[in-house]
Amino acid sequence: MKLTNVVQTFESIFDEIGIDVSHEASLYYVTLICHTPASFTEMHREARRIRKTISERALKNGRNALMNNGLIAQVLFVHGSDTRFGTEPYLPVNPRIVAEVHNEYLKEVYSDEDFSIRNRDVGEIHRIWMKNFGRNGIGIEKGSVTLHYADTWVVYTLLGIIGGFENTTVSMMLGGINVFKEAYKGYYSHLVQQGSKIRAIIDKNDEAEDIKRLKMEYGGKIEVKYIPREYYGTCRQILFDHDLALDGTELLLSDRSGPSCIGTIYMREADPIALLRNNFEDIWKNPSPR
């Protein structure tokens, strides 16, 4: 695997997303995956092995762009002095998911042979990502971690997690239904084919046609309820039965272009997950307004 090729692959994706500093962002993203835990000084040194002329300022600009576009999340050390994430405490989203979501674009940019090589390289860096961040991408197998993140980070993380669950009820309260965009359909289809179900609470009542589409696509495996935000305020949640839960709060910022949520992920923590599940069930009991 040539890291220069991997950087170029994600640079193409980030350029398609609309990141102005796509090369710097890709350089930081790939370096973070390969060299966590690390300090920023160490990150910069490793990045210069790929591009000798990269400055610290440029690399930080790439990091900021990744945060703003939901491709990394910042770990907030509110659970003591644990430094397992190093002094550059960021969690990158699953590189395989990022590449898969943008596969059609990559096929247009690269020849069949080049695409095949790059796809293989993505598989290699995904294995490194798994080693450094775990199969769920949050760096822990049990316990909790608190994060500052953008909405897109949640979507990519959700898509990466659902593939590992069978016969699970996924309950989510994430606002609208952008999480069910057409580009993500394959992941949800796989989930329901494995015997799982999805329940989603949305806070917009003007998405009736989209809800009908979801019900047609997934049948009885998905249930969507419109419940006004007044019932749950800025709360944002995802629950995978009793195994994993994300409890987040949407920050009421005037500029929604960057990270807009703070939340805690709980892995195999029975009491917090049970409390969050009870909270979700109480909200779910509310009838959808006519």
Is residue 23 within 8 A of residue 10, CB to CB? The reply is no
Which of 3-12, 184-193, 205-214 shows the lowest mean pLDDT across its residues? 205-214
| Residue in 242, 259, 260 with CA at minimum distance from that of residue 251 | 260
Distance separating alpha carbons of residues 215 and 224, to the nearest angstrom: 8
Distance separating alpha carbons of residues 4 and 8, to the nearest angstrom: 6
Residue 66's pLDDT is 97
Residue 77's pLDDT is 81
pLDDT higher than threshold 90 for residue 157? yes
pLDDT higher than threshold 50 for residue 282? yes
- Map tokens 């495996």 to a residue: 221
71 or 80, higher pLDDT: 71
CATH placement of domain 143-284:
3.30.870.10
Helix segments in the chain, DSSP class H:
3-17, 22-35, 40-50, 56-68, 95-101, 103-109, 112-133, 151-162, 185-193, 208-218, 270-284
pLDDT higher than threshold 80 for residue 209? no
pLDDT higher than threshold 80 for residue 84? no
Distance separating alpha carbons of residues 128 and 135, to the nearest angstrom: 11
Distance separating alpha carbons of residues 276 and 89, to the nearest angstrom: 26
Distance separating alpha carbons of residues 256 and 68, to the nearest angstrom: 9
Average pLDDT, the chain: 90
Is residue 131 within 8 A of residue 158, CB to CB? The reply is no
pLDDT per position as a tens digit, 53-77 = 999 999 999 999 999 999 999 999 8
pLDDT higher than threshold 60 for residue 11? yes
pLDDT higher than threshold 60 for residue 81? no
Sheet with 222-226, strands from edge to edge, namely 90-92, 72-76, 143-149, 261-267, 244-250, 235-240, 169-175, 197-202, 222-226
Would you kindly state where each structural domain of the chain is located, as residue ranges? 3-74+85-133, 143-284
